[in-house]
Amino acid sequence: MLPCTPAADSLEWLARPALQALIDALTARGHRVVGPQVADGAVVYRDLADVNQLPAGWLDEQDGGHYRLRRDDAAGWFDHVVGPHSLKNFLFPPREPIQRLVREDGTWREEPAPQEQQPLAVIGVRACDLAALRVQDRVFLHGGHVDVAYQARREKLFVVAVNCRRAAATCFCHSMKCGPAATHSFDLALTEAGNRFAVEIGSERGREILSALGTAGLLTPCTADEADRVRTIPHDLERTMHARVAEPGVPRPRSLDTDGIRDLLYDNLEHPRWRVVADRCLSCANCTLVCPTCFCSSVEEVADLSGDDVTRERRWASCFTLAHSQMHSGAVHATVASRYRQWLTHKLAGWIDQFGTSGCTGCGRCITWCPVAIDLTEEVAMIRESAPP
Amino acid sequence: MNSMNSLNSTHAMSPSASAGMQGQVQGHVQCQGHSPWQLQATRIAAIREEAPGVRTYSLTFAPRGPRPSFRFAAGQFNMVSLPGIGEAAISITSDPESLSGIAHTVHAVGSVTRALARLEVGDELLLRGPYGVPWPLADLRDRDLVLVAGGLGLASLLSAIAFCMTHRGDYGRITVLSGAKTPVYLLATNHHHRWRDHGIDVHCIVTDPDPRWRGPVGLVSMLLDSLTIDPDATSLLCCGPEPMMIAVAEQANARGIAREQIFVSIERLMGCASGLCGLCQLGPFFVCRDGPVFSYDRIARWLAVPHL
Ligand SMILES: Cc1cc2nc3c(=O)[nH]c(=O)nc-3n(C[C@H](O)[C@H](O)[C@H](O)COP(=O)(O)OP(=O)(O)OC[C@H]3O[C@@H](n4cnc5c(N)ncnc54)[C@H](O)[C@@H]3O)c2cc1C
Ligand code: SF4
Ligand code: SF4
Ligand code: FES
């Protein structure tokens, strides 16, 4: 058989085990390869050397405050959906040195802060997280200031996306127009079908690496019919998601009516619902930590004993803490209600003013990982229902 | 200090620093390729005790001499940076057109500002800036100006007053209304005669008078009440505690000054000062980048909501 040369607009078949060759090729090109793996009862991103580390045959059940993995031998390699980690954990790491200052003879000198140089490749990225990537690009690259460290990591990032075949009850990417089909921001996209993946090219780098797999005889061309069928998979799921209805005994499928949502929230900043949700909210900040778009940070000073060698470390911050708004006159967001309001209105309204996009992709993580099952789709619905005209 | 990493290299310029003269700084300018955290070194040339816990620091840019490339506009602020302690947003109080250095007037209230208070003349002080949207003085030519300060809020207005003295002919009547808790916290009283020499009216008020106080007692809004104004020709600039600014702005608006002609300088906790860290948000705004100076018509709606 002739080696298959992939074209940008066609799909190629890659046998499932041959995904190992993609991992190897990315590793050989100097990437740190990361992919989903089962650890501590959840699917998380870990360094990936071997396809056998992937969560083949695992499905996740997600609901408000609930995440459980179960075996299903019929499940594919990527039929779990999103876990607590996202690309944010890598491109905007939870802690990062941003500056090192050394004092000699009463004068400070700036030393370059150590920076992670190795390019990253992530396998298994879902459409909602591609959307989150695009949102964080707006924050860190196209806001007021370019974040140089983010930019360096972002430019080297290699994304292998996966089209979802299944959604959790907490997923509402269809409402946010962020999924489930992977349509942008990837180098390669996989759609699982039987024992193989249909591979789509999203970038020149993706084409180059796929060509190498083709040269190694690992690809077979998709026929036009096959390609059409593969391409409908995420769109069929999207249609299913729009048609989902609540049924007794199973988690309620989420959706969010985004019509006029910015003004809805701005016009209801003093709605009584904020106090109702505050009675349940623990202000634990889990939702901001798992959210793939939250970008708040604060800087901690890490000094040696002499105080002459100081590293400034940027760490994730959360609007659920009092420190986030602490001033001499007291914390601005002094009440839990005001902190929940900050989170929700920033996410769904403020972001639109600041970055021209919603800050929510519908990934559902904040619902799943909330210890008391607070659900932003429900909170918005309650405000919408009882908003004064 | 002359290495590539030297803190006072020209790369330490902030994005808005290059925007030049007063009034032309258009908020933030997108800036590629350098770290928003990069610092400049200054030396403390003089320290003046203004009031208990409040000191003015005159700074020269290291190694010594005139400030090399640091340009700011009245109402902008710096992040004063103490390695190992942290950073704090501090208004620049000096004349934006002076080339001899800059000044900060700081109230020691927390970790950074207290550590700053332990520094002495000759010590190095790091900072980055300038940041933020300044007072729109260039747009206010030929208008009457009322500058209303509550306590340390005067710090943000001092640079505007200095600018107005140099360009006195460009403005109509100028009145400074300064209120404080006690007479000692009426800052810059030593400058009042100079302001008056430049045809700037100054009125002071305190809420807790001491036995020597001969002036009026009450809130600064009372001074505004008794001031004769031509509302159509007047612009009001206000900086102080938020409830005071709201009260003053509402009162000015009730007296006929348009909301578009009322400007307030908002305080929020600041981290990056560059629109990256999210700490300074107020409604749709990043106060560091979209403010701290806002016209009242843009900000009133958000100020009116408690704890926003
Ligand atoms: C645009 C702008 C301009 C400004 N200009 C000036 C100026 O010209 N001069 C000036 O003096 N100030 C100015 N400020 C205010 C100044 O930035 C703050 O006072 C400063 O950040 C205090 O920093 P700090 O590290 O000293 O205090 P911090 O240690 O951060 O403490 C600040 C206050 O919060 C309290 N606090 C801190 N942490 C907690 C906690 N966990 N729980 C309870 N309370 C807590 C402290 O007791 C203190 O009262 C300006 C602010 C802004 C936004
Ligand atoms: S707000 Fe919740 S559903 Fe939306 S992107 Fe963040 S974690 Fe996902
Ligand atoms: S303010 Fe809150 S919701 Fe907005 S980015 Fe920061 S942590 Fe996330
Ligand atoms: S201070 Fe960081 S965004 Fe304004």
Q: What is the predicted pLDDT for the residue at A204?
A: 96
Average pLDDT, chain A: 94
Question: Which two three-digit tokens encode residue A104?
Answer: 């000699």
Question: Residues A39-58, buried b or exposed e (16+ Cβ, 10 A)?
Answer: eeebbbbeebeebebbbbbb
**Closest-CA residue in chain A for B278?**
A296
Whole-Å CA distances, A268 to A272, A274, A277, B28: 9, 9, 14, 30
Q: What is the predicted pLDDT for the residue at A9?
A: 74
Question: Which two three-digit tokens encode residue A197?
Answer: 């993946």
Residue range A272-301, pLDDT digits in tens:
999 999 999 999 999 999 999 999 999 999
DSSP A147-191: -HHHHHHHHH-EEEEE--S---TT--HHHHT--SS--SS-SEEEE
Nearest-angstrom CA–CA distance, A296 and A288: 9
- All residues of chain A having their beta carbon less than 8 Å from the beta carbon of residue B271 are 297-299, 317
Question: Which two three-digit tokens encode residue B69?
Answer: 């490339």
Residue A341 forms contact with B (CB below 8 Å): yes
The more confident residue out of B238 and B22 is B238
**Closest-CA residue in chain B for A143?**
B275
Q: Where are the domains of chain B?
A: 21-131, 137-267+285-303
pLDDT band at B62; cut points 50, 70, 90: low
Nearest-CA neighbor of B90 among B62, B65, B116?
B116
Supply the pTM of this predicted model: 0.92
Q: What is the predicted pLDDT for the residue at B218?
A: 96
Residue A110 forms contact with B (CB below 8 Å): yes
Phi, psi of A59 (to 5 degrees): -120, 145
Q: What is the predicted pLDDT for the residue at A386?
A: 87
End-to-end alpha carbon distance in chain B: 44
Ligand nearest to C-alpha B290: 4
Test site for ligand 1: of B55, B87, B90, B94, most ligand atoms within 8 A of the Cβ? B90
Cross-chain Cβ contact A324/B84 below 8 Å: no
Among A269, A327, A346, select the one facing B269 at the smallest CB separation.
A327
Whole-Å CA distances, A101 to A170, A173, A308, B7: 45, 44, 8, 10
Residue range B80-105, pLDDT digits in tens:
999 999 999 999 999 999 988 999 99
A333, A353 contact by CB (below 8 A): no
Q: A343 CB under 6 A from ligand 3?
A: yes
For the residues A69-95, what does the mean pLDDT come to?
97
**Closest-CA residue in chain A for B107?**
A328
Nearest CA to ligand 2 atom 4: A360
Question: Residues B118-130, buried b or exposed e (16+ Cβ, 10 A)?
Answer: eeeeeebbbbbbb
pLDDT surpasses 50 at B17: no
Residue range A319-336, pLDDT digits in tens:
999 999 999 889 999 999
Residue B4 forms contact with A (CB below 8 Å): no
B62, B8 contact by CB (below 8 A): yes
Nearest-CA neighbor of B4 among A109, A99, A116?
A109
Question: Which two three-digit tokens encode residue A13?
Answer: 């078949």
DSSP A374-387: --HHHHHHHHHHH-
Which sign, positive or negative, has the C-alpha torsion B80, B42, B75, B277? negative
Q: What is the predicted pLDDT for the residue at B5?
A: 41
Whole-Å CA distances, A340 to A65, A87, A269, B163, B263: 17, 24, 11, 43, 30
Q: What is the predicted pLDDT for the residue at A51?
A: 97
Test site for ligand 3: of A136, A287, A295, most ligand atoms within 8 A of the Cβ? A295
Average pLDDT, chain B: 89
Q: What is the predicted pLDDT for the residue at A5?
A: 57
pLDDT surpasses 90 at B12: no
Q: A292 CB under 6 A from ligand 2?
A: yes
For the residues A79-92, what does the mean pLDDT come to?
97
Residue B222 three-state SS: helix
Nearest-angstrom CA–CA distance, A209 and A10: 15
Which CATH number is B137-267+285-303's, of 3.40.190.290, 2.40.340.10, 3.30.1280.10, 3.40.50.80? 3.40.50.80
Q: Hey, which bits of A251-380 come out as E strands?
A: 297-303, 309-316, 326-327, 330-331
Which sign, positive or negative, has the C-alpha torsion A125, A127, A129, A133? positive
pLDDT surpasses 80 at A64: yes
Q: What is the predicted pLDDT for the residue at B99?
A: 85
Looking at the DSSP bridge assignments, the partners of residue A38 are: A43
What is the CA(B246)–ligand 3 centre distance, in A?
26
Phi, psi of B270 (to 5 degrees): -120, 140
- All residues of chain A having their beta carbon less than 8 Å from the beta carbon of residue B276 are 139-140, 143-145, 147, 295, 297
Q: Where are the domains of chain A?
A: 12-242, 261-386
Q: What is the predicted pLDDT for the residue at A278?
A: 96
Q: What is the predicted pLDDT for the residue at B36?
A: 83
For the residues A176-193, what does the mean pLDDT come to?
96
pLDDT band at B63; cut points 50, 70, 90: low
**How many CA atoms are closer than 13 Å to the CA of A83, on its beta-carbon side?**
24
Cβ burial of B259 (10 Å; 0-12, 13-18, 19+) is middle
Phi, psi of A308 (to 5 degrees): -100, -5
Q: What is the predicted pLDDT for the residue at B11?
A: 34
Nearest-CA neighbor of A143 among A314, A355, A298?
A355
Tell me how close the Cα of A107 comes to any Cα of chain B, in angstroms: 7
Residue range A19-49, pLDDT digits in tens:
999 999 999 999 999 999 999 999 999 999 9
The ipTM value here is 0.93
For the residues A249-258, what does the mean pLDDT come to?
96
Q: What is the predicted pLDDT for the residue at A10?
A: 81
Nearest-angstrom CA–CA distance, B85 and A302: 9
Q: What is the predicted pLDDT for the residue at A30?
A: 97
Question: Which two three-digit tokens encode residue B210?
Answer: 């001491």
Segments in B91-170 forming alpha helices (H): 111-117, 154-166
Total H helices, total E strands in chain A: 14, 16
DSSP at A67: E
Q: Please report how the helices A273-280 and A336-345 are oriented relative to each other, as an axis angle in degrees rounded to 10.
A: 110
Question: Which two three-digit tokens encode residue B54?
Answer: 């409040």
For the residues B25-31, what does the mean pLDDT come to?
36
Cβ burial of B4 (10 Å; 0-12, 13-18, 19+) is exposed
Residue B238 three-state SS: strand
End-to-end alpha carbon distance in chain A: 68
pLDDT surpasses 80 at B25: no
Residue range A311-320, pLDDT digits in tens:
999 999 999 9
CATH no. for B21-131: 2.40.30.10
What is the CA(A208)–ligand 1 centre distance, in A?
53
For the residues A111-138, what does the mean pLDDT come to?
93
Q: A293 CB under 6 A from ligand 2?
A: yes
Ligand nearest to C-alpha A369: 2
Residue range B246-276, pLDDT digits in tens:
999 999 999 999 999 999 999 999 999 999 9
Question: Which two three-digit tokens encode residue A361?
Answer: 């992709």
Q: What is the predicted pLDDT for the residue at B30?
A: 39
**Closest-CA residue in chain B for A329?**
B241
Window 288-307 of B, Cβ < 8 Å to A: 289, 305-307
Q: What is the predicted pLDDT for the residue at B19?
A: 34
For the residues A240-267, what does the mean pLDDT come to?
96
Looking at the DSSP bridge assignments, the partners of residue A61 are: A68
Q: What is the predicted pLDDT for the residue at B68?
A: 63
Q: Which protein residues touch ligand 1 with a CB less than 6 Å away?
A: A 323, 326-328; B 77, 86, 88-91, 105-107, 109-113, 152, 155, 267-268, 270, 292
A296, A317 contact by CB (below 8 A): yes
Question: Residues B86-101, buried b or exposed e (16+ Cβ, 10 A)?
Answer: bbbbbbbbbbbeeeeb
Nearest-angstrom CA–CA distance, B178 and B183: 10
Residue B157 three-state SS: helix
Pairing state of beta strands A196-201 and A188-193? antiparallel
Residue range B199-254, pLDDT digits in tens:
999 999 999 999 999 999 999 999 999 999 999 999 999 999 999 999 999 999 99
Atom of ligand 4 nearest to the CA of B273: 1
